[in-house]
Structure 1
Amino acid sequence: MKVNRIVANLKSNDAALARSFYQDILGLDLLMDHGWIHTYGSDASMEVQVSVASEGGSGTDVPALSIEVDNLEEVLKRLKGRNIPIVYGPVDEPWGVRRFYVQDPTGALVNILQHI
């Protein structure tokens, strides 16, 4: 037996609210829209991972999601263009990533990172 997919489910009373963040800022595709649920994704091959943590590293809160991107500066530029505040960072961490935290429209803390 193997795990084929892990899906993160974020609660929101307005599923469309997250469209701008996940589609326009992060560049994910809208894969499914049933009105009450919107699923965003990419055709990129990804590893299945689940992290269990007592903190988010460097004394930060544990984020609900960690999203690795190939161009962190572009994501920062898109967020700043929409006046979305950065909660932590950007910072180069001692474990080899450059990252920042932001809250998505559902209120979830999201760790956006790029390996350096």
Structure 2
Amino acid sequence: MDEPGFLMLASPDNPTAQMTVVSPVADSWDPHTSQSTLAVEVEDVDAAYTAAERRGYQVVYPLTTEPWGIRRFFVQAPDGSVINVHSHV
């Protein structure tokens, strides 16, 4: 997938293994994506969100269903990096 400020590369042998490169240009369509340094897709994002809250992780973007079919939230790691945890709707 190639969008302004956003490039996603997927393995041809394992399409669920993906890498996304984001630049500040992405802010024009999604100001939140460029805040994250890592994205992790999980099977059940609602369960992951509940677990993150229960463990006291710092949620810096609330659980949200985005118009483009992703349900996600962001947590901040101890080193300050932001992790985008998501599932496809």
Could you state the TM-score of these two structures normalised by the residue count of structure 1? 0.54
Q: Which residue of 2 aligns with 1:53?
A: 23
CA distance in 2, matches of 1:61, 1:75: 19
CA distance in 2, matches of 1:102, 1:50: 18
3-state SS of 2:22 partner: coil
What are the within-5 Å matches in structure 2 for residues 10-29 of structure 1? Answer: none
3-state SS of 1:110 partner: strand
- Matched-pair identity in %: 27
Could you state the TM-score of these two structures normalised by the residue count of structure 2? 0.68
Gapped runs of 5+ residues in structure 1?
A: 6-44
3-state SS of 2:19 partner: coil
- TM-superposition CA deviations, 1:11-53 (whole Å, max 9, x none): xxxxxxxxxxxxxxxxxxxxxxxxxxxxxxxxxx542423233
What are the within-5 Å matches in structure 2 for residues 84-95 of structure 1? Answer: 84-95=57-68
The aligned amino acid for 1:52 is: V
Greater strand content: 2
* CA radius of gyration, larger in: 1
The aligned amino acid for 2:23 is: A
Q: Which residue of 2 aligns with 1:106?
A: 79
- TM-superposition CA deviations, 1:37-83 (whole Å, max 9, x none): xxxxxxxx542423233246532261100100001111111111112
Q: Which residue of 2 aligns with 1:96?
A: 69
Q: Aligned pair count? A: 73
Q: Cα RMSD over matched residues?
A: 2.1
Segment drifting more, 89-98 vs 50-59: 50-59
